[in-house]
Homo-oligomer: A and B are copies of this chain.
Amino acid sequence: MKLYETLAAELAQSIQDGVLRMGDRLPSVRQASTSRAVSPSTVFQAYYLLEARGLIRARERSGYYVAGAAQKLPPEPEQASQPDEASSPVDISERVFEVLESAKMRDLVPFGSAFPSPLLFPMARLARAMASSVQQLDPWSAVDDLTPGNPQLRRQIALRYLADGLHIHSDEIVITNGALDALNLCLGAVTRPGDAVLVESPTFYAALQALERNSLHAIEVPTHPREGIDLAALARAIERHQPKACWLMSTFQNPLGSLMPDEKKRDLVKLLTQHEIPLIEDDVYGELYFGDKRPMPAKAYDSKGLVMHCSSFSKCLAPGYRVGWAAPGRFTRAVARHKLTTTLAASAPAQAALATYLEKGGYDKHLRQLRHTLSVQQTLFMEAIARYFPPGTQATRPKGGYFLWLELPAEVNALELHRQALALGISIAPGPIFSAHHGFTNCIRLNYGHAWDERSETALATLGALVQKMV
């Protein structure tokens, strides 16, 4: 255990023992450094760690305070969803667009947004990487380095897999226009119109839109708000519907934020492999963990090349660049060919810029800062929800990402709440857009990936009051 971890552990014990109580001010960094005979940076690191764990809170220009105890947070939902387990065609895209398009204005409070604040990204460093790489771009690369994509970038991605313990050769990586493209290409590679596809319940609306566009049927599988898809229900659905693919997010699921435990991921892959069902794994939030290490994707347990792992740089680094990738196992060639006949390739300058940025180092440092910021913002959000929302409100407590999923009292109509909030300048993502059966009528997804400030606090108070009125 490092020095700052020891210090953090001691302070955490003091908080747990009630020696330090909610609202107490911690010693200043200078005081603590002197009294404990450690460097100021050790104290800082300890405080950061405690802050990341939600135990203490920084207030601007006045130091650190002990945060509210756990009982001040809204309770977590404990029940897995209970979707209609039939297989059905999807007809939801129109509704999703209605909601998304209404929430597009920049001056809204962006609780409904799908992206974290772009101000959290190293735009200037990326711009420098872009400027230097584009000037060195080999003209022939523009016509030669089509799909599967820039070799340097694929190598950097393979190296990151390796650092996480996954052996994926750069030849097994196909660069795409963001993760959404990767997911769509994987879906196209393993399904034909009329096929049935397993999804979580609730699930990412773009997955439902992809099924609808490709005339596929959705089978919504019960999903637990903390531990992800229900494997027993999944097994039943496989027997009943002979699905051709499963599309899910095993880590920090959108919208629940659920994280499947390692063992469950392993069992998931085992079950699907027994039935030869390809898994399309959307892992765009995997890097945004608040714990000690990156949760393994289900891909880590794939021995038969049946898991198609998809991710991108859009949620962690460079949203507008539209660069993602698929590691589609045995379907690599099919996915690459699919890419060639749809959009040909991802943008060459964007690929080169990301390769340059990754080669120079600094991505991991940026990610550490980003995770810290998001974890602090989650705590602030949770506390405010506890303050402003009526009893009966439940909120997931994700261990990463930037979404909260709220189950509001049963009488709340999330679509109506969305309309009322919009009229007051606040966007939210209402539950029904996350289900082919238009369920989750009393649920909403909130984005805490934007700076916490007075405006957010006021907006959450307003939202809480709207909910209160509906109860």
Query: Which A residues fall within an 8 A CB radius of B?
Result: 93, 97, 100, 104, 106, 113, 115, 118-119, 121, 123-124, 126-128, 130-131, 134-135, 137, 139-145, 176-178, 180-181, 184, 188, 192-193, 206, 209-210, 213, 215, 318-323, 337-338, 340-350, 353
Contacts and interface: CB of A to CB of B under 8 A. Distances in A.
A192 B89 CA distance: 14
Q: Is the interface of A mostly helix, strand, loop or mixed?
A: helix
B118 A140 contact: yes
B123 A137 contact: yes
A100 to B, nearest CB: 8
Nearest to A135: B127
B118 A143 contact: yes
Contacts of A353: 349
B143 A115 contact: yes
Nearest to A119: B139
B131 A134 contact: yes
Contacts of A131: 130-131, 134-135
Given A130-B131, A139-B118, A192 B178 contact: no
B206 A341 contact: yes
Given A192-B215, A213-B338, A144 B104 contact: yes
A282 to B, nearest CB: 14
Given A127-B134, A322-B343, 20 more contacts: A118-B142, A121-B139, A123-B139, A126-B134, A127-B135, A130-B134, A131-B131, A137-B320, A176-B343, A178-B343, A178-B344, A188-B213, A193-B193, A209-B341, A210-B341, A213-B338, A320-B348, A320-B349, A349-B353, A350-B350
24 contacts: A93-B341, A104-B144, A106-B144, A118-B142, A119-B139, A126-B134, A127-B137, A128-B135, A130-B130, A142-B318, A142-B321, A145-B320, A177-B322, A178-B344, A184-B342, A192-B215, A193-B193, A213-B341, A213-B342, A320-B347, A321-B349, A322-B344, A343-B343, A349-B353
B342 A181 contact: yes
Nearest to A116: B143
B141 A320 contact: yes
A113 B210 CA distance: 33
A346 B181 CA distance: 11
Contacts of A104: 144
Contacts of A181: 342-344
B320 A142 contact: yes
Contacts of A188: 213
A354 to B, nearest CB: 11
A143 B349 contact: no
Q: Which of A176, A177, A178, A181 has the most CB of B within 10 A?
A: A177
A275 B114 CA distance: 42
A180 B113 CA distance: 29
A146 to B, nearest CB: 8
Nearest to A184: B342
A123 to B, nearest CB: 5
Contacts of A139: 118-119, 121, 123
A115 B143 CA distance: 7
Nearest to A205: B341
A213 B344 CA distance: 14
A349 to B, nearest CB: 6
A193 B215 contact: yes
